[in-house]
Structure 1
């Protein structure tokens, strides 16, 4: 173990944790030092919203802190039930089912629906949880070229019998680009396959009322029968859910091991999420604000000579190339009081280490300008 850890340090791949004191917001206290953060997934600025905090406190007063049990024993509360119903309406699907995390939701869905002899097709840049879900399912997993429907089509034509599931991120978490969902939905229909979308980074951000990638592309439950979303990003709380048909949800309740054998999340969290969900739907100015920040950021950075990726979402990666260069850039920003993580292999492919900058509706114009001023100096760092 010591040898492996030392090698990671030499390769500039060693990761360290930071300690945050105070609520999640642009101005943070990091390891005792004030920092301006551009690496949170709190896209709509709801993690520290006073109404969401109040709902959590009132929920704890009613239900206590812990749920006490798994959903199928005695841990499923009225708050959980109400949130599932609200999420079903929000996503335009018959039912929704809560999971403790997005990782567990992905493991649960894929392993419940597929087994030996079945066929699984995944985008090469899918989140690690989807890749792990494929391995655990024991299905035959094939990885098609990133966001390439023609690559997927060739793979679909080359396989034999068994159930077929196509799985993709909606917004790719390290690149910020969108999956070509209309094309994937067409291929799924033509090849008797299910389509599952992990919309962790699209939910709340895309679509007129924050419905996510399926709303953005105008796709229905028939075209995307399996939708996974998380609650700890744009909605600012914690947990995840899967939305779909009555049959899908009942199947997951019976067969998804991460659901059956896990303690339910605290009911107070469900109460808080109900409020954040309502705010996300009704306060469209948050999404409008995000789009203005994204446009301003991309317009300015394009003139700095930095390698921006093709993203119109709050995830704005700047490619450094080597892990050492990405780390040097991150340290340069930190020295100027700005927190941006260096994303390095194996999270991203070799040679594509990057700064993963994320924007929030809670960032001010002055805060964005401060970031841009420091980024303008980056090409000289690490030369």
Structure 2
């Protein structure tokens, strides 16, 4: 039986979701029993729902999910959600952005979606049509929701480390900086050039973004590293000011255990230097969006052995993946839950954080037709 094209599946799912809930927050309430309280507590879940009630339910047709701090006992989470240019969801954001002031982040999101969705767009050719919005759930001191982080996700194989794509990387960084009001001038461009020229041929820039509510600079994610030594050599060439020995002692046991297929490096490019805080992402398989916990067992066990995580959270994480069929208001839907990656965060010479990035995805119709 022929599989439904992905864009048709998205369209069908977005239409189905409109009959299921009034907002993404309302949908979260419907699936609360699929989100362990050890990972997201009652009060913390209420804050997630409050934030997500401002977001269209159609976002669930694309991967969305939670950033879970595994190193903290408190069961809290931040929210991340995808928007694909040209989708019904993107149209909702573009419509909302048109009614906002040009300086508002919602207006910037709308402009980016419109530009990446335009057929002749240089930015769209480089960055593709996928955007991820990252929502911090804690309120500002003034009691407001912080503006979301805005991240563009070029397809694998576009911004590769072959030394030929510097101008393309600069185009994406400039677009993100403009949207988030992040400084981007000659100093930042020189640093980005150094980072890019430090990349190996088998690596690529997979994400460029920034948080309007933070003073952390432009965040760049480079993935495709296969070994600890490759990461360390890249960081040394790129001028990361942290302790390389800590990177080695953190990753080497994971490599020896065969706990990852490849690695990613996250850091911020600030006006005067590459940021000291470093994220090291571990991916269990070449394929992303894994919903079988067995793929992650070796990695989670290896991280637990290093003492960086709360054991109860790992147990809850192991029980919160898989695919199931739910009965909704307009018929059955399929809910997919899994782990995208696990990230260790280093500052200087120590690991400060361990985070799991879990995803949920609703599929409104079976990819091979209704069954």
Which category of TM-score, normalised to the shorter sequence, fits these structures?
under 0.3
Structure with greater helix share of residues? 1
Identify the structure with bigger relative contact order (alpha carbons < 8 Å, sequence gap 6+): 1
TM-score, length basis structure 1:
0.25
Structure with greater strand share of residues? 2
